[in-house]
Amino acid sequence: MSDDVTKVCLGKIVGAKGLRGEIRVKSFTEYPEDIAAYGPVTTDDGRTLALSVSGTAKGVVVATVEGVEDRTAADALKGLNLFVDRSALPPPGADALYQADLVGLHVERTDGQILGKVTAFHNFGAGDMMEVEKQGGAVVLVPFTEAAIAEVDMDKERILVSPLPGLFDDVEAGESAGSG
C-alpha cells in the first residue's frame, strides 16, 4: 500500500443554506451526520475548518463553519472537498474498508492478467469508480461494485477484478493500435 495516503475525503461542500452562513455538505461517511465527528477538516486549498452539524435536508448535511457568518462567505466555500487524517478515523469493521487504504494496491484480473495499481477513487454520481493506472500510463476506471470486484486481499496487497465484457476492451484496443 501507499504510505503517502494520509487524507480521507469525508464530503464536499455543495452550497450555502440560508443567510446566516450555513453550508450544505454532500457527506461520504456511513452516517452523514458524522461529517463533523472526527475533528476539524482540511480543504483542497489547505484551509482548516471547524464544522458543527445542525441538521439534514434533501440528501445533504447542513452545517455551520466557525468564522463563517453570512451567505457570501458560505457561498465562497462551494466546491471544496473536506478531508481528515486517516489516523482520525476508527478502524473499519470486519466487512468494511476505507478506499484510501486501497490506493497503491496491485490490480489483477481474475484470469491472472496484471492491470496496474489503484491510484484514486471517484464518484461522479452513479457509484464509486476505482482508477487504475496501467503500465505505460493508461488509466482505466473500474466500477467498484460486487459485479466488477472479485476480491480485495489486503494481506497480498491486491484487488482482483472480474473481466466484465467491454470493461477493458477500449484500453486494450487503444494500446495495441498505438503500439504499431
Q: How many CB atoms lie within 10 A of CB 146?
A: 8
The model's pTM: 0.71
pLDDT at 169: 63
DSSP string, 94-116: TT---GGGTTT-EEEETTS-EEE
pLDDT at 174: 47
Q: What is the Cα 23 distance to its own chain's centre?
A: 20
Longest dimension (CA), the chain: 61
**Do 99-178 and 7-87 have the same topology in CATH?**
no
Domain 99-178 is of which CATH architecture?
Roll (2.30)
Residue 87 to residue 89: CA distance in whole angstroms: 5
**How is the chain split into domains, by residue range?**
7-87, 99-178
pLDDT at 38: 92
pLDDT at 3: 41
User: Which class would CATH give 7-87?
Assistant: mainly beta
Q: Give 10-residue mean pLDDT values along the chain (180 residues).
A: 64 94 92 92 94 92 96 96 90 82 93 92 83 89 92 94 77 45
pLDDT at 170: 53
